[in-house]
Structure 1
Amino acid sequence: MIKLLIAEDEHLERKAIKFFINKLYKEEIRIVAEVSNGEEAFFQALEKDVDLVLMDIKMPKLNGLEAAEKLKEKIPGIEIIILTAHSEFDYAQKSIKIGVSDYLVKPYVEADFKEVIDSALNKIKAKKKENEKEKELLEKIKNISPVLEKEIILNIIYNTESSINNFLKHTRLLGIKAENYLFITFNYQDQHKINTDLYNYIRKKLKNYFDAIISYNGLINSIFLIIDNQLEKKLKSIAYKKIENSIKNREEKILINKSSISSDFNRISEIYNQTKESTADAQFSINNYPYQSEKKVFAKIIDKNYKLARKEFNKIYNYLLKEEKNNLSRIKSFLRRFLIFLNRRLMEYYNEQQPFLEMQSLENEIELIDNLEGLKIYFEQIIENLVDDLCNNAKEQKVQIIETVKDYIDENYKEDISLDDVADYISFSKYYLSKLFKEVEGINYKDYLIKVRMEEAKKRLKEGEKIKVVACEVGYSDRNYFSRAFKKYTGISPGKFQ
């Protein structure tokens, strides 16, 4: 429902307006306030968050134009219709200059009343629709950054071959210039997942204090990579101690682990491992054999490199053959634990509480394998399937990012939007976005923008709109430039296309 405020000091005039509103717009408009002076109109419009104001020109305390001007300063998108007598007609026309939508002349004629209100309603609905699209777009953008941050953190944790490149790419992407690094991790004593509210609380506190944060809320701990050139000084400050105490003193017992500070980005995985040294969970001990060896397999899986993942797995398998003296039952037992490790890591990677692999099904299949070579091939196939899944997932994430960019273009192609503007809007670097756009769409950003504009131009020209109008509507202020661009795109001039 559209919220309406009536500002009119004459009781009979208010009654006439309400009559027309109830008769013509009972299902669309709700009258949320009636006031008799301009001052009250201003305050009530703000308090009630109204969409439309019918404002009389002559009112006590603050006249209609003064109240309208103040409202427009506070809420530029509000629709205001001035109510005026014939003797004030010239005065009402001047009101258009301050952003008033229209005016109605007393006494009201139903046809005129309907025409003016219909026009205002169409504007309000269009704005609401635009705002909804904007919200959806911002929501999509909000979902992109955590995906990228998760990827960089997990690459660091597993020390993948791409971890350093991805880290440098990501810091450039976010415009991070500081070069001192520190990891801080937070986890509950019983190792269950930090809830989203607490994670967001910690992130907000740290973000407000340090220059840059890259973070990820994993299944066992919340991981924060702090990047700030004043790390040593800030960590010793009273302000940081207050942040730490506000987290430590919560009802739930929170453990906080910090790494040393480093200015060498090549040590990024090494300094993360320092936060794991005091963990109570043995499987995460950085010197534990299975964890370190299996971790290398998963690192290659994250790198989406099946060949190297299989190579690392074969090292483990050959070790098992030697250590367990080819005992099939004992090797199966170890590999079942390896599957549990993979499952846990996959849950962390996909940030899912539910197991990723169907363990019971895999257990049954492993039980049926009666030879060592078949067991090895079976696990190699599992690894290959996981790499394929990650490749598909990465493609989907890239497509999601570009779909968000395309939505932004669809909403703003009439404006002079450059690649810089779009990259700025979604907080990406121009270089990265350009490369990603070409990879996903097969054409560059500029060509895609031209395509959107020209397809819209073709549609409008077919509907009989004038070339000059069409040019303006699709983002070209110069008709001749538009005509050249159109001919280059379609092979014929706009005039002949019509």
Structure 2
Amino acid sequence: MRSCPMFTLIVIEDEYWTRELIKQFVHDSNLGIQIIGEEENGEDGFSLIRERKPDIVITDMNMPHMNGVELLKKLEQHHPEIKLIVLSGHDDFVYTKQAIRSGVIEYLLKPLDKESLKQALLACLVRITKERTGRAASSIIVLPSDVLNIVVQHKRNVRTFVNLGNSDAIRQALTECFEQLKSKIEENSYQWWRIYQEFLKELEECMSLAGTEMKEAFEDDRLLHGEQARPMTGAEAHEKLTTLYDIALGHIDALRKAKKKIDLKEIQQYINVHYKEPISLEKLAVRFYVSKEYLSKAYKSQIGENIMDNITRLRMEAAKEAILDGRLPINHIATSVGYSDASYFHKVFKKYYGMSPLALREK
């Protein structure tokens, strides 16, 4: 099922077959763009634009009644917010000069090819989305399912190696990922930028899990926020990510070395605040820069209770209180105390209290 259109487009082109080709290309792009009108000349096209106010206009330059140069001047004056893609059968200097002055996104020469038009449309959507939301949205840059599967798998591997502090394994995982993707993506494409953003977001989550932030590791803020959505090569994305992960891992390693000894009071305070979240022994170990084996042993030795038993106890006590209160559905209570699987919550609760949540409520 195709998603509901988020963006609108008008085509102004005097050649019937070119209009049909554009419509087919736009449909095949699956970018959420709806064509809301078409005209054969600039004069009628301008009237249609004023009436329907599209997000994007694709226009030919050489048309009857009002040519592309005149149309661009009018749009620049009356509708500067509309994103423009210009088509021409000639690489004409006059046309090109006016296109640049009018803020045209792309100047495409005929005969038109599908990939060039798709990249031009993506450039328009990136600018529109940034203007609407205040930031560039990578969600509009679609990755094919086979590409996305490769990215997801290697993101998972990279996260594991960050937690282990293994920089060589991280570099190897990134290299393997980009080698597998090389034959599936155009060399200079917005899709490489989207993949770059996916791994950047993964790095941010890894650093948050380690109890630090990206801005603490990177003195040059441009490394993180200077990247506007743009076509990027795989080699460039790979090189940038390798550098970023190296710097981040060095920062995390320095924090671990600066941590002289385990602070169980600090850890318990963290558990008391976050026990309703999906925390685990491994996540706690990463956050407090110790091995999970050492954390488990030290906690049991000093607190007298296994760390996961402590988390379970806090969850069960909170669940019991909510069940006896009687206002919330039991499945909602399960979610609120950290159990996404309601049946597993029922099993743990019955084992802990010797009765089901419903039996306790009805008691």
TM-score (norm 2): 0.36
TM-score (norm 1): 0.27
Structure exhibiting the larger radius of gyration computed from Cα positions: 1
